[in-house]
Structure 1
């Protein structure tokens, strides 16, 4: 393996993306699998979370500076209860991954020896919960052998959705009995996730219903199951039960939109995030209705949040456009194929239309950068690299400009 391919695989694992130059199941050794798995685990729950875990194990005090960094990495409003939240993140992640591994192990025992079934169960549980998209199926087939297996589909979708909720939402869900209420963030994440899954399923189902190359020749139940799984996995999961290259172009473009939206803040997924999408829709509706405030679940959002949502979205669009232009220059492939690859990399999704293995060195470097930015977050990168400015001591006079 060349250095650039090793770097590509390492970045893809650490950024929990799943784009691969070589098939994970057949090309890599057992040692390689465990290296990938370790990177996925660290990248999924977060570097700062892992660092804090080691500090707690060594009984070392967490400094104020470390708490502030942790606050940013977990998207928290204050430093209060951060160490407690880190403990919850670790416990929830390990608990859900363990349950997923057991459920996968039970199913894999019917197809392979017990030892191999356990190995596959652990690998796929960690990979899928962290929305990484790496699999050991071989020959880039992903979960296509289980496209009609209801059990495997449900377990996989449950892990993808729970991983995509974000640890803040998971903590809220597990604390429901104590609090008897959800925060606004949790309500928005749950509702937007449900809407996107339902709408995505219906759109994919309608577009692919008569497509003989994908699911057109199968029964109604299988078509619905495949559509549901693709709707869930396209928002950061990365594993798939059908070949996306066989989808109609309309479906592929719709999948690009879902990948761009992505998962939720503080989760193992990428994209502009479900909450950003909700704020944008809320802002549009407020403008149409002639309202001054964006209101979600009868709560008004600060103007700063709306500006941030618009900024994140425009940055993301700009990054995807720039990445697409670079790859359109360096790669000999159809435009939709390139746009799909770029969005998948930036959204840390891992779905591909077969372009990854044919990328030039420049193309691989571009995708590596996109995966890194997508996992880090464009706004985080901008704040880190941009000039630090204090509060302005004056405001300019108001001007008028014609919009639309």
Structure 2
């Protein structure tokens, strides 16, 4: 024995805990009474990973394959994965009256992607209050539509399942065609979209709004997320409406202008990691698919139930480019300077993500018999924990499923978390002289 204590970083512990959640979910979904027909271990692992990472990709129809027990396992994994298993652990600590130490606070800082350890426990409390309140209210509104259609028991169950799935940006639906049957239904469109927009904007933003209740007093991060979300959603809606207006397989096939507008709005907001669809994704024009690829890659807000590189990461990269082109040094937003460390962090996240996406698409291009665009869409959908597919998921090979499983895992935890879990940061002892290299 060398006397050294075994130590594990918060990043490694976070990955370990999340891996355990997926393994437990896999075992539960493989139980005979969890399914209506036998499924393989790989398919059980794929579903458990998709639910835990709140992605929504499925290798078979959820409602037809799983029993009520199996569906409860899926929705439990979604809730644990969306709000964070570590958040639930902290909640249990609080309920038992136990003291939460520095290590637990540090772990929660990493799990919720916060810049500092201060106020993390308060954020967890607010997270649960807001989440359960929003899910409950949404369930009541959804039951107004589904109880008269399916009866009390099934109507409430559908409302319960989809409110959790939508708020956590999971995209799991209990219909084989997603929500295409409700393409022009205002209630379903509004409630479901509000759920995944609220869930995807980030818990830090929700807590900030909850506490300050004034736009002027909000933090810079909150303002960027609110304005950025509104702008991107409406620009995407306009583009999808324009691009798909004459497509007979999508918008042109809908009877009224209202239906076309609802479909455009829903499909513009859903790729930001929600994964629900009211249009047939495989029938969309390639230009629309390309737009959705960008939306899925960018994803939702930092510290939210969604994935992607995150909206603020994308905006920091864009603003750094404009700042360089203007010949300025500092990125300034509303009289606030963004530190260089955030620029390096944003570039690292985007670069690592693109590298993993490239490798995944390269492998799938060898193992799968499918068009390149469908492969790229599947990988970015998995990375962004979106869950939309052009119909490729059902036909994935075993190797293809394993690749997508890893990309979903990467997308949920974040590429930087995975990279930092493998690295050993060292304190620089000396500074070397500068020398220029040619770029561009």
Q: TM-score, normalised by structure 1?
A: 0.97
Where does residue 127 of structure 1 map in the other structure?
A: 165
Structure 1 residues 33 and 225, CA gap change in structure 2 (3 angstroms): same
CA deviation vs aligned residue, 1:124-165 (integer Å, no higher than 9, x gap): 00000000000112xx21100100111110111100100001
Structure 1 residues 27 and 187, CA gap change in structure 2 (3 angstroms): same
Structure 1 consecutive aligned stretches of length 4 or more whose deviation exceeds 6 Å: none
2:146–2:159 Cα contact (<8 Å) kept: yes
1:163–1:268 Cα contact (<8 Å) kept: yes
Find the aligned partners of 1:261 and 1:215 in 2 and give their Cα distance: 25
Gaps of 5+ in 2: 1-38
Aligned with 1:216: secondary structure?
helix
Where does residue 153 of structure 2 map in the other structure?
A: 115
1:305 paired with 2:342, answer: yes
Find the aligned partners of 1:179 and 1:205 in 2 and give their Cα distance: 31
CA deviation vs aligned residue, 1:290-347 (integer Å, no higher than 9, x gap): 1111112221111111111111111111111111011111100000000000000011
- Trace 1:44-193 onto structure 2 (pairs within 5 A): 44-137=82-175, 140-177=176-213, 181-193=217-229
Where does residue 333 of structure 1 map in the other structure?
A: 370
Residue number among 267, 286, 292 corresponding to 2:329 in the alignment: 292
Find the aligned partners of 1:13 and 1:345 in 2 and give their Cα distance: 12
Where does residue 360 of structure 2 map in the other structure?
A: 323
2:142–2:187 Cα contact (<8 Å) kept: no
Find the aligned partners of 1:43 and 1:322 in 2 and give their Cα distance: 26
For the aligned residues, what is the CA RMSD? 1.2
Gaps of 5+ in 1: none
2:114–2:303 Cα contact (<8 Å) kept: no
Aligned with 1:348: secondary structure?
coil
Find the aligned partners of 2:420 and 2:253 in 1 and give their Cα distance: 51
1:282–1:296 Cα contact (<8 Å) kept: no
Number of residues paired by the alignment?
Answer: 401
Residue number among 38, 51, 73 corresponding to 1:13 in the alignment: 51
Find the aligned partners of 2:324 and 2:258 in 1 and give their Cα distance: 41
Find the aligned partners of 1:197 and 1:298 in 2 and give their Cα distance: 26
Find the aligned partners of 1:180 and 1:260 in 2 and give their Cα distance: 30
Structure 1 residue 396 displacement after superposition? 2.6
Structure 1 residue 192 displacement after superposition? 1.3
Q: TM-score, normalised by structure 2?
A: 0.89
1:351 paired with 2:388, answer: yes
- Trace 1:233-382 onto structure 2 (pairs within 5 A): 233-382=270-419
Aligned with 1:175: secondary structure?
helix
CA deviation vs aligned residue, 1:160-197 (integer Å, no higher than 9, x gap): 10000111000011112389610011011111111110
Where does residue 29 of structure 2 map in the other structure?
A: none
Where does residue 32 of structure 2 map in the other structure?
A: none
